[in-house]
Structure 1
Amino acid sequence: MTPLLAFDTSTELLSIAVEADGRILARDEPGGPRASALIVPAIVDLLREARIELGDLAAIAFGQGPGAFTGLRTACAVAQGLALGAGKPVVPIDSLLAVAEDAREGATRLRVAVAMDARIEEIYAGEYVYGDGVWAVARAPLLTNAAALSARWRAEPPEVVAGSALAAFGAALDTGAARRVPGAQPRAAGMLALARRRLESGGALDAALALPVYLRDKVAQTVDERAAARAAKASRP
């Protein structure tokens, strides 16, 4: 099986993984604003540990978002740079789908509602169904808020809810009887299987097409908006 590299910087987690010779080597560490400086040296170290070169890879998979604006730009730029330099294709992966895969925990049939903290009192949300060894998108990623998402879940109760919004919004998110997986993240180790399936089905792209998925045009708050957000957070149960 040809080696594969995957990474994601859409959250505060910098996650990188390599699959080679039947082994998966993974590294998860704090990233956030430092991800742009840390990611390339970390990739080089992991490839060295796996004893492979960039030219040995079948493709380079990256988390295309939605997620943090700077993190998405970092992932796309690194994917493009490495892929162009090595003459390899890229495989964009939905970062919310990667969260669903992290929450699957070996289940063979599952429907996962993903809710990731998007800051500014908003949430990146999507829903995915797993069965027969593949994922399908039940609801495409969108930018929403706790009230709207809770209303949707009351009307259509989810089986599993996963993602950082569970901790960020607490009781403001009504998950009903759903199993909660607040620690689920877009981890590169899980992305490898997603990327392999997409690669085998012809989903690889030219490096020039490594583009992020932005769901929000506005990336910063005014002073008043930040104060309102802090007040709203402090008022949560």
Structure 2
Amino acid sequence: MSKLLAFDTSTEHLSVAVRHGEQVLAHHGAGGAQASATLLPLIQQLLRDAGLALSGLDAIVFGRGPGSFTGLRTACSVAQGLAFGANVPLLPVDTLLAVAEEARHVSGAQQLVAVLDARMDQVYAARYDFAAHGPLGGDDEPLLLSPEALEVPAGWALAGNAFAAYGPRLAATGARHEVLPGAEAMLRLAPALLAAGRTVPAAQAWPLYVRDKVAQTTEERAAIKAAAAASAT
């Protein structure tokens, strides 16, 4: 399959890419609240630039999470609407896998722990071993945990966007790679995911939620601040 559209809105950055044969066109920009307004126009522009019609795509690849609740809903709803309208299969990609693939691509690292800032003093994390498990790195389930609870095997690299917020609290002896789940990484993962039969119909464009709560109570925020202050003394 050489005609693919991919996009991710799981973080504060938006990423869209189109593959037409050997040609790859991509756009990266601000996400967050803006993604719902800018994603569709960007998709339309990139498809035009690549000389592709939506109905001519082999599949639509989208980041299913974990990540921002609003961002995941945006990606899933856009993917679902496009797939219903054009009768194109969907290929959901775990955002942590896309993080690991991007770090592998830029650094050559084969054993990685992907970690994304989950806010609320927590991170999303999963392990990927490309040397042992091939192009998909295995099937590790994503976790939601405190930065201090993250376990990184000796010599494994750490990749993601959680370093600015939690860097000193992430115990790791290997290299660190500041990367995001990008659409180009999803395009590179697509052949192996397609071969594994991971496409879904439009009705199953579901987000991967690891957390079922998006806000803290006043008491919970106060307790977190108190714990952080205590650990700093």
Pairwise same-fold verdict (TM > 0.5): yes
Please show how residues 78-93 of structure 1 align to structure 2 within 5 Å.
78-93=78-93
Match of 1:180 in 2: 176
Please list the CA deviations of residues 109-164 of structure 1 after superposition, one character each: whole Å capped at 9, or x if unmatched: 60110111100001000010113851222632110111211xx23xx325210111
Shift in alpha-carbon separation, 1:59–1:201, aligned structure 2, 3 A? same
Offset, 1:106: 5.3
Report the 3-state secondary structure (helix = DSSP H, G, I; strand = E; otherwise coil) of the residue aligned with 1:75. helix
Assess if the C-alpha contact under 8 Å between 1:111 and 1:160 holds in 2. Answer: yes
3-state SS of 1:218 partner: coil
Cα distance in 2 for partners of 1:108, 1:179 equals 11
TM-superposition CA deviations, 1:86-128 (whole Å, max 9, x none): 0011000010000001111356660110111100001000010
What pairs with 1:1-237 in structure 2 (closer than 5 Å)?
Answer: 1-105=1-105, 110-131=110-131, 134-137=135-138, 139-149=140-150, 152-153=151-152, 156-176=153-173, 178-181=174-177, 183-226=178-221
Mapped partners of 1:25, 1:193: distance in 2: 13
- Tell me the number of residue pairs that the alignment of Structure 1 and Structure 2 aligns: 231
Distance between the aligned counterparts of 1:158 and 1:227, measured in 2? 36
Identity of aligned residues (%): 48
Q: Distance in 2 between matches of 1:50 and 1:128?
A: 32
Give the AA of the match of 2:27: R
Assess, with a 3 A threshold, how the Cα gap between structure 1 residues 117 and 110 changes in structure 2: closer, same or farther. Answer: same
1:200 Cα deviation (Å)? 3.1
Deviation at 1:76, TM superposition (A): 0.5
Distance 1:171 1:7, change over 3 A: same
Q: Output the amino acid matched with 2:31.
A: G
Q: CA RMSD in A?
A: 2.2
The Cα of 1:172 is off from its aligned counterpart by 1.1
C-alpha distance in 2 between matches for 1:128 and 1:47: 32
TM-score by length of 1: 0.90
Q: TM (normalized to structure 2)?
A: 0.91
Contact in 1 for aligned 2:109/2:157 (Cα 8 Å): no
Once the two structures are superposed, residues 58-95 of structure 1 have per-residue CA deviations (whole angstroms, 9 ceiling, x without a partner) of 01010010111111111100000000100011000010
Where structure 1 has 5 or more consecutive residues not aligned to the other structure, the ranges are none
**Could you tell me whether the CA contact under 8 Å between 1:15 and 1:28 is conserved in 2?**
yes
1:64, 1:208 → 2: CA distance?
Answer: 14
- Report how far residue 196 of structure 1 moved: 2.4
Residues 236 and 7 (structure 1), Cα distance of their counterparts in 2 relative to 1, 3 Å cut: farther
Residues 108 and 55 of structure 1, relative CA distance in 2, 3 Å threshold: same
One-letter code of the match for 1:198? L
